[in-house]
């Protein structure tokens, strides 16, 4: 192997890589890795290439379930891996975990990492179709993850325990690294803006993110006379079966129940303009990055007492936890924070410290690089930036 080991990231969407893993790619480059990114290229391909990373466009889709198209995608990945000959492939997300791992086994890739940023819709939905899919996905994962030199990274202990208990991942191959890391120098506390408190739900616009419950909570609070602005912001996800149509979001705004800010790239500024950040999800999260970013920005957070959320929300310390699918409890929690600026400040300060201690990008990247070092062993580049912290 050359003095610069080849690290290839496989992730279905360029926007997800840019938003969640660009910091890790930079850290790997600092440790003398040659970094490539295989992804479906949208609007951010130029930014990825501008970082100096090799961009490998692929057709793998997050939402597609056509077996013929998916088989073609696996063949595409096999050809790509054989051509690029990476030393480590890092698969991020469920579909990348299944199809990318299949391709890695068929291509004799020497080492691979799989990150589960939550188990998503298939594992969180309760309908019969989702249960059938869950069985199929579980069996596919059992086969694809039987690689001789593999590590599976989980963002919360519940996901890790589930897949180990079901025999999908061997316990000795599982690693817990909470979240994808947040740049604490970019997401910084600021003074609250004057006026009525702004309460925001910022995420992909999915029903399972609790958007409907948030809207209902806003209605309840308006009826109670609680003075605040209620805001939705995030991508409209047309590929997810639980996606909320943009027409519905526009209807809610026309009603006056919530404001619709659409997708915003300038999240530090968004948090500076808001007072409380809410995520009433039942999606099947890893550790929601928006909650970590909000806490780093010194904002109190309200979320459901679900896996992933419990990793970052310490009930009564830096935020409040409520039951899932309960708009009344959500409204009560929001009202508590709207009416108590001293409590908001106290929780914001505590949240900032929790992120610095446990969820910073530097912390998460060091733990992930240590996983790479496990896999490479004595092939770790001795002339690199040193050992992972």
**Residue 253 burial (CB count, 10 A):** 15
User: 39-95, pLDDT tens digit by residue?
Assistant: 999 999 999 999 999 999 998 765 556 666 778 888 999 999 999 999 999 999 988
Given a contact cutoff of 8 angstroms between Cβ atoms, the answer to whether 142 and 168 are in contact is yes
SS3 assignment, position 28: helix
pLDDT at 1: 45
Dihedral, 240, 245, 246, 252 alpha carbons, nearest 10: -130
User: DSSP letter at 147?
Assistant: -
The residue with tokens 């009416």 is: 339
Q: Which residues contact 34 (CB under 8 A, 6 or more apart)?
A: 2, 4, 5, 6, 7, 54
Following DSSP, what letter does each residue of 264-320 receive, concatenated? -S-HHHHHHT-SEEEE---S--SS-HHHHHHHHTT--EEEESSTTHHHH--BTTTEE
* pLDDT digit string, tens, across residues 135-161: 888 888 888 888 889 999 999 999 999
For the chain, how are helix, strand and coil distributed in percent, rounded to 5?
A: 45, 15, 35
Give the Cα separation of 78 and 145 in Å (integer): 16
The H or E element containing residue 374 is helix 361-376
CA nearest neighbour of 355 among 278, 287, 273, 266: 287
Contacting residues for 368 by C-beta, under 8 A, at least 6 apart:
24, 27, 113, 153, 177
Q: Give φ, ψ of 151 to 5 degrees.
A: -130, 140
> Tokens standing for 321?
């936890």
Compute the Cα dihedral for 274, 276, 280, 284 and give only its sign. Answer: positive
Cβ–Cβ < 8 Å for 296, 355: yes
The number of CA neighbours under 13 Å toward the Cβ of 29 is 14
d(CA 125, CA 143): 23
Give the pLDDT score at 306: 94
Residue among 28, 49, 34, 40 nearest 85 (CA): 34
- What b/e string do you get for 188-206 counting C-beta neighbours within 10 Å, with b at 16 or more? ebeebeeeebbbbbbbbbb
Cβ of 289: how many Cβ atoms within 10 Å? Answer: 21
CB 176 within 8 A of CB 367: no
Which neighbouring-strand residues pair with 243? Answer: 206
CA distances from 102 to 21, 120, 154 (A): 22, 20, 19
pTM of the full structure: 0.89
Q: In terms of residues, how long is the chain?
A: 389
Closest CA to 180 of 31, 13, 38, 17: 17
Which residues of the chain are modeled with pLDDT < 50? Answer: 1
Angle, CA of 67, 68 and 71, to the nearest 5°: 80
Q: Sketch out the chain's domains with CATH numbers.
A: 6-181+360-379 (3.40.50.2000), 198-358 (3.40.50.2000)
């Amino acid at each position: 192997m050359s003095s610069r080991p080849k690290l290839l990231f496989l992730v279905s969407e360029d926007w997800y890589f840019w938003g969640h893993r660009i910091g890790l790619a930079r850290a790997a480059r600092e440790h003398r890795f040659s970094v490539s990114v295989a992804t479906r290229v949208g609007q951010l391909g130029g930014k990825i290439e501008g970082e100096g990373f090799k961009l490998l466009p692929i057709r793998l889709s997050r939402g597609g379930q056509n077996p013929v198209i998916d088989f073609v995608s696996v063949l595409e990945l096999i050809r790509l891996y054989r051509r690029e000959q990476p030393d480590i492939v890092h698969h991020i997300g469920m579909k990348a975990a299944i199809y990318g791992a299949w391709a890695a086994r068929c291509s004799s890739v020497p080492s691979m990492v799989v990150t589960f940023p939550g188990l998503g819709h298939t594992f969180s939905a309760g309908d019969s179709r989702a249960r059938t899919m869950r069985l199929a996905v579980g069996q596919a994962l059992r086969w694809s993850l039987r690689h001789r030199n593999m590590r599976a990274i989980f963002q919360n202990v519940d996901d890790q325990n589930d897949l180990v208990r079901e025999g999908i991942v061997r316990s000795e191959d599982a690693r817990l690294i909470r979240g994808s890391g947040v740049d604490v120098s970019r997401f910084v506390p600021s003074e609250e803006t004057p006026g009525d408190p702004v309460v925001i739900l910022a995420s992909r616009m999915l029903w399972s993110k609790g958007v409907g419950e948030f809207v209902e909570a806003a209605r309840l609070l308006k009826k109670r006379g609680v003075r605040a602005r209620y805001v939705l912001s995030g991508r409209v996800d047309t590929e997810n079966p639980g996606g909320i149509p943009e027409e519905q979001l526009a209807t809610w705004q026309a009603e006056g129940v919530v404001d619709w800010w659409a997708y915003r790239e300038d999240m530090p500024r968004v948090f500076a303009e808001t007072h409380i950040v809410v995520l009433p999800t039942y999606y099947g999260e890893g550790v929601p990055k928006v909650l970590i970013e909000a806490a780093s920005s010194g904002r109190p957070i309200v979320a459901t007492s679900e896996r992933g959320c419990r990793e970052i929300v310490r009930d009564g310390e830096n935020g409040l936890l409520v039951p899932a699918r309960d708009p009344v409890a959500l409204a009560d929690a929001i009202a508590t924070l709207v009416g108590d600026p001293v409590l908001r400040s106290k929780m914001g300060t505590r949240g900032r410290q929790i992120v610095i201690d446990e969820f910073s990008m530097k912390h998460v990247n060091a733990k992930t690089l240590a996983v790479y070092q496990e896999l490479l062993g004595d092939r770790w580049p001795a002339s690199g930036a040193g050992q992972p912290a």
